[in-house]
Amino acid sequence: MKNFNVFRKIRTSITKLILPFLYKILQLLKGNTRAIDFLSDKKINANNAYSFQESIEKLLKNKKLIGMDVGAQGGFNSDDFFPKKYNKYFQSILIDPLNNSLKNISSIDVLSDLNSR
């Protein structure tokens, strides 16, 4: 029993020595995480400040780009990869391999039942 108490005291002493270093390391990592999150947010939202609409209109000349979504669970650009102000330049084509998840959508082109062709 006496050996167990000595082992416990040694373990407690080692923990008291290591704990401040571990705390500093975790504190630094948390700071890095905040910096990475900040920079990631800036990267994602960087193009929102710019407007490329005039350049796009010159290139497309009243035509539209085709945005194809296979699986079509949320529709083309549902994750806002492109800013919403550019949605007018896309014609969405949704491909529904399940043949039943897009029955209520009528404002866009939906392809389904591809196995019968």
The yes-or-no verdict on residue 11 having pLDDT over 80 is no
Top mean-pLDDT range of 21-25, 40-44, 95-99, 112-116? 21-25
- pLDDT of 116 reads 46
Report the distance separating Cα 68 and Cα 74, nearest Å: 12
* pLDDT tens per residue across span 29-81: 777 777 777 777 777 676 666 778 888 899 999 899 888 887 756 777 787 77
Report the distance separating Cα 100 and Cα 73, nearest Å: 11
End-to-end CA distance of the chain: 81
Give the residue extent of every domain in the chain.
2-44, 51-116
DSSP 8-state class, residue 77: T
Q: Phi then psi for 111, rounded to 5 degrees?
A: -105, 130
Helix locations, the chain, DSSP H:
2-44, 53-60
Q: Phi then psi for 112, rounded to 5 degrees?
A: -145, 175
- pLDDT of 117 reads 45
- pLDDT of 83 reads 80
Q: Which residues of 82-107 are buried (b: 16+ CB within 10 A; e: fewer)?
A: eeeebeebbebbbebeeeeebeeeee
* pLDDT tens per residue across span 69-109: 877 567 777 877 788 888 899 888 877 766 665 555 554 55
pLDDT band of 16, cuts 50, 70, 90: confident
